Amino acid sequence: MRTKSTKYAEFNNKIINHLILFLLLFISNIAAQCFAPNPQNPRELIPVACNLVKNEPQENLKFKDSTSNNSSSSNNMFDITLNCTVSTDLCSKVQKAFDTAGSIISSYLLLNTRIVLSASFESFCDLYSSCSENGILGFASPARWILMEDDDNIQRLYPQSLVKQFELSTHPEYSKNDIIASFNSDVSYWFAEDSTPINETQFDFLYVMLHELHHGLGFSSAWDEYFTGYVTPLLANDPIKEIDAEDDLVYNNTSYSSFKFYECAFDKYVILMENGQKASEITEKLNTYFTENNNANKKKNFEISFPTCLCCPIILA
């Protein structure tokens, strides 16, 4: 289980890096910018055009608690589309497990806006030529990350499913799906309605899926080994170019020379175990490299000078 668990966690991180990232700032209206993956380099993001949906004046970034009082709020808040390419019998078990997972998560998360999940149950051997016995069980990821300014004035990548719960009147165009998930039909899964008890060669589908769906909800970290031997947050272009005095949304789409490390929403709560230091403080120190070194190719220079350029505690992979 451990081997598989580690494997799908790694796979999941790769998926995250491939996803389109959006920018949205929240101290009055500032700028919106989107990122797409770079097919040549999965560790890099490139800016793309995106529309901002703007209706009313900006509100503060906070959860709108509109259903905590609703006894029905423990019902399934997930809209699930399942693409299942195996037998009808097995697909019906998979569908049932997804519905159960949706209800379970809805029972302990305070959700006011429905979450759209696009899931598939398919052969990873056929799809990714990943046919080994210790293959990947499955993965899930936010379909879109949106950059938002947190209450500590640090911009972090928020999963779309969470951003929707803020019920903002102005936000970047949402992706059709909030979460994308895929599970490997080659795996020997056990389902609740199976007539025999689970045995040592099987995996409890609901258990694996619940784990993965939490990654889909954005419970993951941007800290990873992007530079060999060092763990940092995700490095991406810094898209913020201009603030318009009239609270209009303006950005410069011609120049993306600058880089910045970005954390995910929940990295705000990550600390170093040995001294309690917030990981976000390290991120800020890392980012001073880019503000203090106005080089043409900053990312490359950073890669070259990484081990010596900073005296902050870098976590070793």
Ligand X SMILES: *[C@@H]1O[C@H](CO)[C@@H](O)[C@H](O)[C@H]1NC(C)=O
* 252 forms part of the interface with ligand X (CB under 6 A): yes
Say whether residue 242 binds ligand X (CB under 6 A): yes
Measured CA to CA, the distance from residue 263 to residue 222 in angstroms comes to 5
Q: Does 196 bind ligand X (CB under 6 A)?
A: yes
* Residue 199 binds ligand X, judged by CB under 6 A: yes
Stretch binding ligand X (CB under 6 A), from 63-71, 91-99, 261-269, 293-301 = 63-71
Q: CA 282 → CA 5, 191, 239, 261, 275, distances in Å?
A: 28, 43, 21, 10, 13
What span, in angstroms and rounded, lies between the C-alpha atoms of 212 and 203?
A: 14
Contact between 1 and ligand X per CB under 6 A: no
For ligand X, the binding residues in 36-55 under the rule CB under 6 A are 49
Cβ neighbours of residue 188 under 8 Å, at least 6 residues apart?
201, 202, 203
- The verdict on 92 binding ligand X (CB under 6 A) reads no
CA-angle at 19, arms to 17 and 25, nearest 5°: 100
Provide the minimum distance between the beta carbon of 201 and ligand X in the complex, in angstroms, as a whole number: 4
- Kindly tell me which residue out of 28, 38, 70, 132 binds ligand X, with binding defined by CB under 6 A: 70
What 3-state DSSP class applies to 317? Answer: coil
112-141: which residues touch ligand X (CB under 6 A)?
A: 120, 122, 127
* Between 83 and 132, CB nearer to ligand X: 83
Kindly tell me which residue out of 92, 253, 291, 297 binds ligand X, with binding defined by CB under 6 A. 253
Most distant CA pair in the chain, distance: 67
Per-residue contact flags (x/-) with ligand X for residues 148 to 187, judged by CB under 6 A: ----------------------------------------
Closer residue to ligand X (CB): 129 or 199: 199
* Burial class (CB within 10 angstroms; exposed 0-12, middle 13-18, buried 19+) of 273: exposed
| Closer residue to ligand X (CB): 132 or 253 | 253
Tell me, by CB under 6 A, how many residues bind ligand X. Answer: 24
CA-CA distance, 269 to 82, in Å (whole number)?
33
User: Residue 72, interface with ligand X (CB under 6 A)?
Assistant: yes
Return d(Cα 258, Cα 302) in angstroms, integer: 12
87 near ligand X, rule: CB under 6 A: no
The phi and psi torsions of 230 (rounded to 5 degrees) equal -130, 140
Six-digit token string for 81:
């589309």
Q: Please, are residues 283 and 271 in contact by the beta-carbon 8 Å criterion?
A: no
Residue 92, number of CB atoms within 10 A of its CB: 13
Give whichever of 79 and 281 is closer to ligand X, judged by the CB atom.
79
Comparing CB distances to ligand X, the nearer of 202 and 221 is 202
Query: Does residue 202 interact with ligand X by CB under 6 A?
Result: yes
Of 255 and 305, the one with the shorter C-beta distance to ligand X is 255
Which residues are near ligand X by CB under 6 A?
Answer: 49, 67-70, 72-73, 75, 83, 85, 120, 122, 127, 196, 199-202, 241-242, 252-255
